[in-house]
Amino acid sequence: MPEAINDIITPRLILRLLGDEVTSACLNNDLAAAQQLLHAAIPEEFFSDLGVLKRDHHLLREDPEYKPWASRGIILKSEKKMIGLIRFHGSPDHDAEKPYMKDAVELGYRIFSDYRREGYAREAILALINWAAEAFSIQRFIASISPENIPSLALARSFGFIKVDEVMDEIDGPEHVYLLERTPAE
C-alpha cells in the first residue's frame, strides 16, 4: 500500500485521517482524548451523528485495505478546529455490481453549520479526489446526494459529476447517484 495515510494539506485545510484511535475515542464519548489524538478542537455538533464513525469502526476492523479511505477530519488550519468530515464509503470496488461503480470510490462529506458556504467543501473534495488519483490511480468517483440537497447537487455538478442513477438508501431515503470520470492528465 502506498504511503497514503498522511495528512492531505490544502491552502486552508488539513484533512487528517481519524483512524481507529480517534474513531474509538469519539464513539466512547471521550472528547478530550479524541481532541488530543486529532491535535484539533472538535465541536459538539460532530457528536450529533456518529453513524459514519460506527460504519468506519466496523470497516476498519473487517477490511485492512479500508484504512486510507476512512474518515478524515476537515481541520481549519487558522483555528486548529475540526469543521467537518470527509471520507470514502469504502475502498475501490473492482467487482461492482453496477458498471458505473467498477473501480470507483464514493465520496461523503459533512461541513458543520457554522462553516458552510465558505468553499471548504469544494476545497476538501478537490484535495481528496486529487489524493486518490495520485496515490491510488483512481479515476472514477461517485457521489450519492438527496434530491433535496440543492447545495450539494450544485457542488457535484460544478465538479463535472453527471447523474447516472437513482437509488433508495435504507438510511437516507431517495438519492441521485452522480459519477465523475477523470482522465489521468486532469
> What integer pLDDT is reported at residue 3 of this predicted model?
45
Q: What is the CATH number of the domain that holds 142?
A: 3.40.630.30
Would you say residue 171 lies in a domain?
yes
- Say which DSSP state 88 is in: E
Domain coverage including residue 127 = 8-181
2: confidence class by pLDDT, cuts 50, 70, 90: very low
> What integer pLDDT is reported at residue 94 of this predicted model?
77
Question: What's the rounded mean pLDDT across residues 173-183?
Answer: 91
Each residue's pLDDT tens digit, 18-39: 888 888 898 888 889 999 999 9
Number of folded domains in the chain?
Answer: 1
Distance CA 37, CA 25 (A): 9
Would you say residue 129 lies in a domain?
yes
1: confidence class by pLDDT, cuts 50, 70, 90: very low
Would you say residue 69 lies in a domain?
yes
> What integer pLDDT is reported at residue 161 of this predicted model?
96
> What integer pLDDT is reported at residue 145 of this predicted model?
94
- What's the pTM? 0.89
Task: Decide if 27 contacts 53 (C-beta within 8 A).
Answer: yes
Each residue's pLDDT tens digit, 37-87: 999 999 988 887 888 888 888 888 888 788 889 899 999 999 999 999 999
| Phi–psi pair at 50, nearest 5 degrees | -105, 15
- List the grid coordinates of 114: 457554522
Would you say residue 62 lies in a domain?
yes
Would you say residue 2 lies in a domain?
no
Where is 32: in which H helix or E strand? helix 31-38
5: confidence class by pLDDT, cuts 50, 70, 90: low
Would you say residue 106 lies in a domain?
yes
Would you say residue 46 lies in a domain?
yes
DSSP letters of 104-150? EEEEEEEE-GGGTTSSHHHHHHHHHHHHHHHHH---EEEEEE-TT-H
> What integer pLDDT is reported at residue 169 of this predicted model?
81
Each residue's pLDDT tens digit, 96-153: 888 888 889 999 999 999 999 999 999 999 999 999 999 999 999 999 999 999 999 9
Would you say residue 58 lies in a domain?
yes
